[in-house]
Amino acid sequence: MRKRVAVLDDYQGAGVSEPHWKQLEKRIVLDGYRDTLHDENALVRRLLPYEIVVLIRERTCLSASILRQLPRLELLALTGKNSGQVDLEAATSLGILVTQTKSSGASPVEMTMGLILAAAHRIPQEHMAVRQGSWQTGVGFDLASKTLGIVGLGRIGRQIASFGKFVGMRVIAWSPHLTGSKAAEAGAEYVSLDDLFLESDVVTLHLRLSERTKGIVTARQIFSMKPTACFVNTARGDLVDEESLVTALRERRIQAAALDVFHTEPLPADHALRSLDNVILTPHMGYVTAEGYEAFFGGAVENISAYLDGRTPSASVNPEVLSGPASRRRTTSESE
């Protein structure tokens, strides 16, 4: 019996179009969904027929409540690492195997650099102005000699620090466990979070989202920024008090923002950010590249194939379920 596989939130249809699926075409029935469902009941109805669900990053989150309503579900094949989009404890207790994949290390770094340059030099605004028949509608600013503030000096943040030094910026940084010596190793100066927002001409976020970091950028920090400063976020929308950021942009308390992530994704059609002329908006494209999807779906198909063969996928997050409830769940579904 072929397993039913759902790929969720595949906005462009790019995930189900990956050639890797051909090696499973006689073993699975593949469905792709190009929208995101935020209503729990609607999501459960959609997922009820499936034994295997493929999640594209954190576009859909599966809580314990949702997982308990999916009795056929055997395998959650995540693309990238589990960043909290799945209640792993609930999945394990229910006998649902969870796997993950590698991702492109270059794309979020490049996306951040692109947004910083776009904000400083007004690239999207001037592009649209030229297409509409205008010419030079505003004035940008040089990054050289300015201060770049990096919130989160991990793998991505360190590369952004190198970019800042390359274009001649002073680089300052803050992370929850950062020290002065560790910052210096990355070519940055360690400062407090409040001082970072006060001193920076460009602030960019590179923290993981967790209960500890959710809402870590508050109204106080946003309203303390220079009126000429830019705010960049390619990490996660929930790190930021989005309402205060909208206020700061609307009231011109800061010069601009460049955002790839939001509290609600896709960004609602009537969201206030869509009406502001001093913000650059991109639809969470920081990992959406040909190379990124190659890593995601190549890895997901490899994990699914191993599972169908009765092997433990090497990228399993909770392999212990294969010797417990998962094996019973699998036997039950195959006999139906």
Q: What value, to the nearest 5°, has the Cα angle with vertex 44 and ends 41 and 50? A: 165
265 catalytic, yes or no? yes
> What's the order of all strands across the beta sheet hosting 75-79?
28-32, 3-7, 52-56, 75-79, 97-99
Residue partners of 55: CB distance under 8 A and separation at least 6? 8, 9, 62, 76, 77, 78, 79, 85, 86
Other beta carbons within 10 Å of 331 = 9
- 236 catalytic? Reply is yes
Catalytic residue among 20, 158, 236, 330: 236
User: Could you say which of 4, 265, 271, 294 is catalytic?
Assistant: 265
Active-site residue, 263 included: no
Cα–Cα distances in angstroms (integers) from residue 286 to residues 226, 267, 292, in the given order: 26, 15, 10
Choose, from 158, 284, 329, 330, the residue flagged as catalytic. 284
Residues 6+ away with beta carbon under 8 Å from 39 = none
Tell me the three state secondary structure of residue 158. helix
Q: Is the distance from CB of 60 to CB of 43 less than 8 angstroms?
A: yes
Sequence-separated (6 or more) residues with CB below 8 Å from residue 164? 143, 148, 150, 170, 171, 187
| Contact by Cβ (8 Å): 253, 279 | no
Angle at 295 between CA 321 and CA 8, to 5 degrees: 65
Q: Which two tokens stand for residue 114?
A: 């692109």
Q: Which of 301, 327, 331 is nearest to 16 (CA)?
A: 301
Max CA separation in the chain (angstroms):
68
Which residues are tagged catalytic? 236, 265, 284
